[in-house]
C-alpha cells in the first residue's frame, strides 16, 4: 500500500514538472510605469530592448525572441517597470492585435503624408 502511494506521488510530481516546464516566462515592460530613461537598453546584453514609436509616443519594448532572461533590465530599472509574466495564448494574441493596430495606424499616417 505504502509503495503504491509513493509511485502515485512520484508520477504526480512528474506530471507537475512537465506542466511547469511548458510554462514560458517572459520579461515585459509596463508602459504605465516606464519613464523612458533607457537604462534597460544600455544594460541588456542581448540587445532585446528597443525604443519604438507608438501612437506618436516613444515606448520601450522587449523582444522575447532575443531575451536571454538574464534579469539585468529588472536590476537596472529604478522604476519597477519591468516584470516577468507567463506567456499565454491570450497575451500572445493581445500583443499581435496591438501590433496589427499599430501597423495599420502607421500605414495610414504614411499614406496621409
Ligand atoms: S529602465 Fe525602466 S523606466 Fe527606464 S526605459 Fe527601461 S523600463 Fe523604462
Ligand atoms: S532579461 Fe536580460 S536579455 Fe532579457 S531583456 Fe532583460 S536585460 Fe535583456
Instruction: Please state, in angstroms and rounded to a whole number, the distance separating the CA atoms of residues 74 and 78.
Output: 8
Whether the Cβ atoms of residue 58 and residue 31 lie closer than 8 Å to each other: no
> Which ligand gives the minimal distance to the CA of 66?
2
- The residue among 41, 28, 52, 31 whose CA lies nearest residue 76 is 41
Report which protein residue has its CA nearest ligand 2's atom 2: 70
pLDDT average, residue stretch 87-108: 74
Cell of 60: 520601450
Query: Euclidean distance between the first and final Cα of the chain, in Å?
Result: 77
Residue 75, domain member (yes or no): yes
DSSP element (H, E) containing 94: helix 89-112
Assess whether pLDDT exceeds 80 at residue 95. Answer: no
Report which protein residue has its CA nearest ligand 1's atom 4: 37
Question: In angstroms, what is the span from residue 101 Cα to ligand 2's centroid?
Answer: 26
Residue 19, domain member (yes or no): no
Residue pLDDT, tens place only, 8-43: 655 655 554 455 446 789 999 999 999 999 999 999
Question: In angstroms, what is the span from residue 62 Cα to ligand 2's centroid?
Answer: 8
Instruction: Please state, in angstroms and rounded to a whole number, the distance separating the CA atoms of residues 79 and 14.
Output: 39
Q: What is the pLDDT of residue 9?
A: 58
| Domain with 56 in it | 24-106
Question: In angstroms, what is the span from residue 68 Cα to ligand 1's centroid?
Answer: 18
pLDDT average, residue stretch 44-59: 94
Residue 113, domain member (yes or no): no
Atom of ligand 1 nearest to the CA of 36: 5
Which residues sit opposite 84 in a β-bridge?
27
Residue 12, domain member (yes or no): no
Residue pLDDT, tens place only, 52-85: 998 889 999 999 999 999 999 999 999 999 999 9
Residue 58, domain member (yes or no): yes
Q: What is the pLDDT of residue 28?
A: 96
Residue 94 belongs to domain with CATH number:
3.30.70.20
Residue 9, domain member (yes or no): no
What's the structural domain count of the chain?
1
Amino acid at each position: 500500500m505504502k509503495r503504491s502511494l509513493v509511485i502515485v506521488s512520484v508520477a504526480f510530481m512528474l506530471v507537475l514538472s512537465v506542466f511547469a516546464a511548458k510554462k514560458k516566462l517572459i520579461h515585459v515592460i509596463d508602459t504605465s510605469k516606464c519613464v523612458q530613461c533607457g537604462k534597460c537598453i544600455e544594460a541588456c546584453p542581448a540587445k532585446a530592448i528597443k525604443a519604438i514609436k507608438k501612437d506618436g509616443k516613444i515606448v520601450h519594448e522587449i523582444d522575447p525572441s532575443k531575451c536571454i532572461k538574464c534579469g539585468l533590465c529588472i536590476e537596472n530599472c529604478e522604476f519597477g517597470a519591468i516584470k516577468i509574466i507567463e506567456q499565454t495564448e491570450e497575451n500572445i494574441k493581445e500583443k499581435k492585435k496591438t501590433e496589427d493596430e499599430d501597423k495599420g495606424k502607421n500605414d495610414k499616417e504614411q499614406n496621409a503624408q
